[in-house]
Amino acid sequence: MTKQAVDILVLSNGPGEVTTWVRPVVKALRQKLGDDRSVARISVVLSPCPNATGKEPAIARSYPEVDRVQEAEHFWQFLLWGKTFENWDWRSRGVVIFLGGDQIFPVVIGKKLGYRTVVYAEWEARWHNWIDRFGVMKAQVAKNISQKHAHKFTVVGDLMLEAQEQLLTSHFCTSERPVAPTELIGLLPGSKAAKLTQGIPLELAIAEYIHAKRPQTKFVIPVAPTLDLQTLASFADPQKNPFVQTFGFNGASLIVSKESTNNSTLKTQKGLIIELWQETPAYDLLSQCRICLTTVGANTAELGALGVPMIVLLPTQQLDAMRSWDGLPGLLANLPGVGSSFAKAINWLVLKRKGLLAWPNIWAQEEIVPELVGKLQAPEVADIVLDLLDNPEKLDEIRTKLHSVRGESGAAQKIAQIVCEEMGKQEQ
């Protein structure tokens, strides 16, 4: 490997990308490039993201492989003028790696710095003329690429899968694993108010219905790190959330444990106890679930990568509630004053031409896991769950299909290899 000083600039944005893409890649880069920072320096620059929590810079700084981090609030001045907030110096040789944001960003920044560019493309690859290399999750991403750009594309596999495997390994070795009962069901209503307003009462009502039929079944909510327990519980309170009774649910109260972060619970009016699991990431817990109830979004990709059967719920009792779309639709739906109108219009259009919503279904181009959209009520959803629990061969079939559509492992190492190859081209 070269001993000439190089800079590796990682572009990323949201919480999912920073934890599941950046982490394994910077780890793999250090394994290849070594720990001598005078030879290889790794910087992370964050761009704005509608799903950002504000904790992304701290998470990136916690990775020992990373040397410096710039927060998203300073991104635009860097993109436009090439100057970081702290006026970082840049070495003459380097590579820009895209791990989240807009794929035009590495084009612009790579040109300003004179660096080679590498893009990890999960679903779509853009700007083929100006990007030097693409590491794609699946061969389908490159199937319609012009022959003159084909040499730029390498199938590397699924970064999310690799991140989860790393975290599962470390958690099994170093953490106290939750001991799952024979029938554990995960409830993933989301982390934003737009989803929790309907998701919490609907999923808790479903849990009560299932428990009445199968008392041995236990339930757990893996609490998003950006969500405190009091806020979560407020969505189960009929005094604070008018949609609680819309789903035939009477409410639940929070019981906070002072002994352990993972012993707090929600207790419903019917006496059902829902465990609140606060250790993150919760992959080890989720991998023990027989099935999960989840909303649309990154949760479906994570569960799919873990091979956990799921039912994806998109209740439409409040049409403007779902304001968590990515990109321009998400920005429009959250505009002050007019956001509600945009949200209603966007959701109406999405529901009209629905298509596939869960990531595993999009990967497979078929409905591997059920997607339920409409004015959902607890009994109809619970009956589907009960049927799956009564027929475990159906759950096994879903698991098998989920495993079959996952990308290959080893993605981070392959991306690191591409980066090293691009460095070599700079020195020729």
d(CA 208, CA 189): 15
- Kindly report the number of other CB atoms within 10 A of residue 47's CB atom: 20
> Angle, to 10 degrees, between the axis of helix 378-390 and the axis of helix 193-213?
60
**Which pLDDT does position 409 carry in this prediction?**
73
DSSP state of 269: T
Q: According to the model, what pLDDT value does residue 33 have? A: 93
Please list the residue range(s) of the chain that carry CATH number 3.40.50.2000: 6-158+408-426, 176-405
Quote the pLDDT of residue 202: 96
Class of domain 6-158+408-426: alpha beta
Q: Which amino acid is at 3?
A: K
189: which 2 tokens? Answer: 């209503």
Only one residue has tokens 């629905």, namely 354
pLDDT digits (tens, 9 = 90+) for 336-379: 654 455 555 655 555 555 568 888 898 788 999 999 988 899 99
| Secondary structure (3-state) at 4 | coil
Alpha-carbon distance of 413 to 1, in angstroms, equals 15
User: Going by C-beta distance under 8 Å and a sequence separation of 6 or more, which residues neighbour residue 377?
Assistant: 205, 247, 248
Determine contact, residues 423/93, Cβ cutoff 8 Å.
Answer: yes
* Measured distance CA(221)–CA(186) in Å, rounded: 6
What is the signed CA dihedral for 19, 330, 139, 114, rounded to 10 degrees?
-70
Half-sphere exposure of 416 (CA within 13 A, CB side): 22
Superfamily of domain 176-405: Glycogen Phosphorylase B; (3.40.50.2000)
Determine the Cα–Cα distance for residues 123 and 121; give it in Å rounded to an integer: 6
Q: Which residues of the chain have pLDDT under 70?
A: 1-3, 51, 162-181, 260-262, 317-355, 407, 427-428
Interval 101-153: pLDDT, tens: 999 999 999 999 999 999 999 878 999 999 999 999 888 888 888 889 999 99
* Torsion 277-282-284-286 (CA) sign: positive
pLDDT of residue 348: 54
Rounded Cα distance between 256 and 240, Å, is 19
Cα distances (angstroms) measured from residue 193 to each of 51, 196, 243: 12, 5, 12
* Long-range contacts formed by 371-377: CB under 8 A, 24+ apart: 371/312, 371/314, 372/311, 372/312, 372/313, 372/314, 373/314, 373/316, 374/314, 374/315, 374/316, 375/315, 375/316, 375/317, 376/202, 376/247, 376/313, 376/314, 376/315, 376/316, 376/317, 377/205, 377/247, 377/248
The single-letter code of the amino acid at 135 is: G
Residues in the chain: 428
CA-closest candidate to residue 122, choices 131, 135, 105, 110: 135
- Sign of dihedral through CA atoms 7, 10, 35, 83? positive
Give the pLDDT of residue 396: 96
